[in-house]
Each structure stands twice: as structure tokens, then as C-alpha cells.
């Protein structure tokens, strides 16, 4: 799938739409989800134009990949959920239920998160 520069996260990255920022570095932005599904619901995104994990893993530089992985763990520590636990989720494509076509990890925490998938 070609990257759509008008997707909502691209617009947040350009500063056209505000976000409730949790973390930012050269390669990564994280912000609170506008419609939280758990007491803590943060979206962690690369700043580069990647649709999905398969796209990112194929095209991103080693520096970008390392930055996203390191930032995700750092955010979990910084917001204080690492010890009690959390869940990372990347919905991908049609079957994965992805709504926004810019790679993002959902970081859910703050309560017991139940089964991994809806039964």
C-alpha cells in the first residue's frame, strides 16, 4: 500500500492537528489516543512515512528501527507501567483492523487487559 500523506498521523506529525504528546525524539512521536480503550492508551509512531510493520522493517534505517524499539520501552518505563504490565498492539491492514495507515503501536495499560483477542 502506498503511503497516504493526508492520513491523520501524518497531519499530527506536521503539526496541523494537535496531540497530547507523551514522548518525542528525532525519529519517534508518542501521544495519548483520542479515544482511549484503557486507563493508559498511548500511540507510539515512527516519524518516517511507513504504513505498517512489514513496510517499516523493509524500508526503515537501522537507526529508525532501533529508535522505535528503544523509545517504546522507555515510554513504558517513563509512564510507570513497566512493572505492573502493559500490552503493545499494531493493527495491520484490513484483517488487522487498521484504521490509520501510518505504523503505530498501541500501548495499553492501567488495568488487567483480558484475553489477547476477542473470542
Note the residues at the interface with ligand 5GP (CB under 6 A). 8, 17, 19, 31, 33-35, 43, 91, 97-100
104 carries an active-site annotation: yes
Distance from C-alpha of 29 to C-alpha of 93, rounded to nearest angstrom: 21
Say whether 49 sits in a helix, a strand or coil.
coil
Closest CA to 5 of 16, 34, 85: 16
| Residue number with CB closer to ligand 5GP (83 or 95) | 95
| Residue number with CB closer to ligand 5GP (34 or 66) | 34
Cα atoms found within 13 Å of the Cα of residue 90, Cβ hemisphere only: 18
CB of 95 to ligand 5GP, least distance (A): 12
Closest CA to 45 of 58, 55, 31: 31
CB of 52 to ligand 5GP, least distance (A): 10
CB of 62 to ligand 5GP, least distance (A): 25
- Give catalytic residues, as residue numbers: 104
Amino acid at each position: 500500500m502506498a503511503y497516504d500523506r493526508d492520513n491523520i498521523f501524518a497531519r499530527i506529525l506536521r503539526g496541523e492537528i494537535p496531540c497530547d504528546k507523551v514522548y518525542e525524539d528525532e525519529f519517534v512521536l508518542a501521544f495519548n489516543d483520542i479515544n482511549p480503550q484503557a486507563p493508559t492508551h498511548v500511540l507510539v509512531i515512527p516519524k518516517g512515512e511507513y504504513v505498517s510493520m512489514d513496510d517499516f522493517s523493509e524500508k526503515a534505517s537501522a537507526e529508525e528501527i532501533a529508535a522505535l524499539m528503544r523509545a517504546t520501552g522507555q515510554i513504558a518505563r517513563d509512564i510507570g507501567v513497566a512493572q505492573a504490565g502493559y500490552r503493545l498492539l499494531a493493527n495491520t491492514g484490513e484483517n488487522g483492523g487498521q484504521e490509520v495507515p501510518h505504523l503505530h503501536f498501541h500501548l495499553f495499560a492501567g488495568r488487567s487487559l483480558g484475553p489477547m483477542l476477542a473470542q
